[in-house]
Structure formats: structure tokens, C-alpha cells
Amino acid sequence: MFTVDTNLIAFVTPRRFLMGMAAYLSDPIFLAPTVASETKRRILESTMDYIVGKDATPQGDMSVEYIEQCGKLVQYAVDLFVDKDLPAAKGIFISQDVNIYRAAVVRKQIPDEIFTIGIPIRENRDKRIAVETIASDVYSMVTSNMGSINHTLFNEWGREKYGLNQNFIYTPDAFVQNTFGHKFREAAHQIAINMTLSHRMRSDAENRRSLDNFIKNLKPWMPSCSNVIDLEERDSPSRNLRWEHGQELIKEELWATARAVEDKREGRKSSASEANSCF
């Protein structure tokens, strides 16, 4: 298992890539309780920002009832997605309670100097996620924004405390490269193909447009992965074989489960939209 930080779960494209990685490896993502609660808040905020930005009705003309109904519907849809749909993706996510005694032990053991001075240590959400991860016997964390953690000190402590022969905390690109080694380019390309394929027949041009969009949206989060996917799609002699292989792979249970998560999210969104015009 590996833990993924809030931003990588809350936003669609990095979430899709990492779910694909979980399927590729048959190694699920640990959905830490703090990550789950923050993911709900982040998705809710970004969804409401989008709604307010596209709504033609000036805010001053909106009724209180309209605003409240809109917020409740979005909140309900987001809660169902994070609390039900993600944990239901068996083999892709694992969601479980953290043993409070073990968490307390780990919390006491982690040296405070690993974390940035200035943030009250008891309020440090990065430390909470790290504690939940270790207390659940997970020893890999993937983060794009855990800026309050000194990665070098944390990795040194992990090796000393737990005898780890690898780093404990990684940036997303470093995690993918470290995990796949010499198969990095091939694996990243196959994951992207499998997560963008359609079950309906599409032309090569349609497949490429879908992949191009995925590459563009992945770049802010995982620039190295985005770049090698693009290079493999343009230059690899195995390109066509991977597309053909992808059509078979997506029929397998883990890949089908990973791909279905976004279908469920769209379904939640559509249901909320039908109940109210705020979407």
C-alpha cells in the first residue's frame, strides 16, 4: 500500500493516474482519514467555485434557499463519492480506521524537528497524515504539497527507526520512477492508455486527443510522467501494441474498478445537477 496526499486525490487527472498505478501494481492506495476529510473539503470548494463562476445569476439576486440547496446537493454528492465510492473500489483503495493507541505511539516517536517550525505541531495536518500512515503499517507516502515535512530528515528517520531500505516519502514523479525502475516509461504510458481508453470504438485520432488531454492535465502534478507518456506515444515502437494490450487489460477486474471510479463521480454530479439547476 501507499498513501497519497490530498491534492493528488482531490483532482481528477493525478487521481486517475495513481488509481491506474494501483491497478497496474495490484497494490492499493491507503486512504488516510485526514486525506479523506480534506479531499471532501477540497472537491466541495473547487466545485462550488466552478458553479459560482459559471452561474449567470448575479450573487446578489440569488435567494438564500437557492444557495443553501445548491450547497447541500453538492456536499451530499461529494460525501457519497469520498465516503462510499472510493472505499468501494476494492483493490484500488483501502479505507480503514486507524488504531488510536498505535497512532499515539507513532505521534510521540516522530521527532518534531522533522516538521517546519511555525506550524503548531498538534495542528500540523502533514504530521497527522504521516502518523495515520505509519500506524496503519504503510511505509510509502506520495506527496505534491506536504511542504511542512523535511523529506530528507523524514527518510533518514524512517530508515533508522523501521529499517527501511528505501525512502518513506516521495514526490509523485520520484515515486513512479523508483517503483518501476527501468520499466518507468513503458508502465507510465500503459497506465495512461488504460485510463483514457473508451469501451466504444474510436479512431486513432480520437484516442490521441483523449491521451493528449490527459498528458496536459497531468503535467502540473507529475511533469516527468507527463513528458515520458508523450515521448512514448510519439516515438515508441511498442505504441500500437500497448493500445491493443490496453483494450484487453481494461476488461480485467482491477482496471475496470479503477476506471469506474470516475464514472461514479460523474454520476453523482449528474444526479445533483438534475435535482437543482445550480450545475
pLDDT of residue 69: 80
Cα dihedral sign, 268-274-277-279:
positive
* Residue 279, CA atoms < 13 Å, CB-side half-sphere: 17
pLDDT of residue 245: 96
- Residue 133: left if φ>0, alpha if ψ -120 to 50, beta else—which one? alpha
- Residue 163: left if φ>0, alpha if ψ -120 to 50, beta else—which one? left
H-helix or E-strand spanning residue 3: strand 2-4
Residue 115 is classified by DSSP as B
Q: Which residues pair with residue 149 across a beta bridge?
A: 115
Maximum pairwise Cα distance, the chain: 61
User: Which CATH architecture is the domain 2-176 placed in?
Assistant: 3-Layer(aba) Sandwich (3.40)
What is the C-alpha separation between 134 and 124, in angstroms, rounded? 16
Q: For each of the chain's 279 residues, which pLDDT tens digit applies?
A: 999 999 999 999 999 999 999 999 999 999 999 999 999 999 988 887 777 776 555 555 556 677 778 888 889 999 999 999 999 999 999 999 999 999 999 999 998 888 876 666 667 888 999 999 999 999 999 998 777 888 999 999 989 988 887 899 999 999 999 999 999 999 999 999 999 998 777 888 898 999 999 999 999 999 999 999 999 999 999 999 999 999 999 999 999 999 999 999 888 877 776 555 544
Q: Please write the tens of the pLDDT for every residue from 203-232.
A: 888 989 999 999 999 999 999 999 999 999
Query: How far apart, in Å, are the Cα atoms of 48 and each of 34, 43, 101, 203, 262?
Result: 21, 8, 37, 35, 19
- CA-based nearest residue to 31, from 103, 94, 79: 94
SS (H, E, C) 86-112: HHHCECCEECCCCCHHHHHHHHHHCCH
pLDDT of residue 55: 58
Q: Report angle CA 124, 79, 197 to the nearest 5 degrees.
A: 100
pLDDT of residue 33: 96
